[in-house]
Amino acid sequence: MENMKTIDLFAGAGGITEGFRQAGASCIFANDFNSNACETFRHNHPGVETVAGPIQELDTAQIRTHAQLERGELDVLVGGPPCQGFSINAPERFLEDPRNSLFKHYLRFVDEFAPKLFMFENVPGMLSLGGGKLFDTIIGQMQDRGYRTSAKILLSAHYGVPQVRWRMIILGSRIGEAPQHPEATHFYQGRPNFKGGATIATRLVPFDEYLLSPAVTLAEAISDLPPLEVGAGDEVSNYGKTRKLSAFAETMKRDSNELYNHTANRLSKINLERLSHIKAGDAWTAIPFDLLPAGMKKARSSDHTMRYGRLQWSALAGTMMTKCDPHWGAVFHPEQQRTFTIREAARIQSFPDTYRFFGPRVAQYGQVGNAVPVLMAKAIADSLAEYLTKTPAPALCR
C-alpha cells in the first residue's frame, strides 16, 4: 500500500518510523519527551511534525484537525509506552495509577484517531508482569475499542539485523481479522532468555536454515568502517580507504557520502588494562582476579556472563544497550582496543549511514540503544501494508 500514514508516539530517535519509511509509509506526527531524540528525529525526517514534550500535554483533537484527518483515516498508530505502575492486586485500577498515564494517553490517540491498525512494542518481560495480567489488561483495552489483536515476541536477527534482540510486538486491527506478524527472512536459532514469553516467541527449526538467508554477522555489519583509537573519531568524517563491503554494509552505506557519529568513548586506565586481557569471544572471566571490580570478585564464573565482553566477528551482537559501558555487557570491539562507536552501534541496530544522531554522546548511545531495529520495523511495516491492501476499511460511525 502506497503512502501508508502513521503516527509515532514515544518515537525516540525514529527507528520505527525509519523502518516504515523504507516500506513506503509516511509519518505525519511524532512525539517524544526527550529533546535530543526529537532533534535526531527532525533531522532525519524533516517533513514530519515532531513535538518534544510530555504526551500528557498534547491536544489530540487539535493534532487530528491540523493533520486534516477524519476519525478512521489514519492507517497505523505505532508506539510503546512503558507500563510501570501495574499492581497484581488491583489490575482493574491500572489506568488510575499516575505512573501509567503514558499508556492512558496512548489510548487517547486511539480514541481520537480510531486508526485502522496499531503496532504496540515493548520489552518481552512485559508479558510476565503480574503473572500476565498486565498483558491481558492492555489487550482488553484494545479489544474494548473494537480491535482484533495478535501478539508475538520477535527476534531482530530473523529480519537481517546483526543483533540478538527480542521485542514484544502487539498488532491490532479494527477493519478485519488480526494482522499477522512478518515471517522470518534470516536463519538464527535464538534462545528466549526471559520469563513468560517463550510460548509466543518466534522459533525456527534446523530445516529452516535451508530456506532462509544466513544471519548477518558482526563482520558483515561493521568491519568496513575505519579503525579508530580509543577516544577518537569525529561527528562528521569520511570513510577513508575503501574496503570490501558485504551486502548488508552496501545497504547501510547507500546514498551516504559522509560518515556520521563514528566516535569512540574514552576508557579509564583500569578498563584499558582489563581489555588487554580479553580476546574475541571472552568476557570478564578472562580478566586477572586483581583487576576485577570489587563486586565481581565474589561472582561465580556463570554470573554476568557477557560483562566486559569482546565480541567475535563471526557472531551477532547482543542487545544494544543505552550505555556503551563494559560493566553492562559485551561492548568491546572484536579487534580494536575500544568500545563500539555510535555509528557501529547504529549499524548493529540497522540504521542506515545517512541517519545522523544529535546531542551529547551519552544521549546518542541512549537513542540508539532504545530504538526498535530498523529492519525489524520495516518487516512489520511491509506486513501491515500488505494487510491494508487486501482489507478494505469499512465506514466508521462518527
Of residues 304 and 232, more confidence is placed in: 232
CATH number, span 5-209+375-390: 3.40.50.150
> Is the pLDDT score of 5 beyond 70?
yes
For residue 20, how many other CB atoms are within 10 A of its CB? Answer: 29
Residue 129 has pLDDT above 90, yes or no: no
pLDDT band at 192 (very low <50, low <70, confident <90, very high): confident
Nearest to 319 by CA among 203, 194, 234, 219: 194
pTM metric for this prediction: 0.94
Question: Which numeric CATH code is attached to 218-371?
Answer: 3.90.120.10
**What confidence tier does 91 reach under pLDDT thresholds 50, 70, 90?**
low
Mean pLDDT of all residues in the chain?
91
Output the pLDDT for position 92.
60
The pLDDT value given to residue 267: 95
Q: What mean pLDDT do residues 242-258 have?
A: 93
Give the mean model confidence (pLDDT) for residues 249-270.
95
397 flagged as catalytic: no
Model pLDDT for residues 348-385, shown as the tens digit of each residue: 999 999 999 999 999 999 999 999 999 999 999 999 99
Q: Of 27, 38, 83, 324, which one is the catalytic site residue?
A: 83
14-28 pLDDT per residue, tens: 999 999 999 999 999
- Residues 34, 335: Cα–Cα separation, whole Å: 34
Parse the chain into domains and list their residue ranges.
5-209+375-390, 218-371
Q: Comparing 62-71, 93-102, 122-131, 184-193, which segment has the lowest mean pLDDT? A: 93-102
What is the pLDDT at residue 97? Answer: 64
* Better-scored residue on pLDDT, 87 or 29: 29
pLDDT for 90 equals 53
Across residues 173-191, what is the average pLDDT? 95
User: Confidence class of residue 96 from pLDDT cuts 50, 70 and 90?
Assistant: low
Instruction: Note the pLDDT of residue 379.
Output: 98
Is the pLDDT score of 88 beyond 60? no
Look at residue 262 and tell me whether its pLDDT is greater than 60. yes
What's phi and psi for 222, nearest 5 deg?
-135, -5
Mean pLDDT, residues 235-249: 91
Q: Tens digits of per-residue pLDDT, 30-53?
A: 999 999 999 999 999 999 999 999
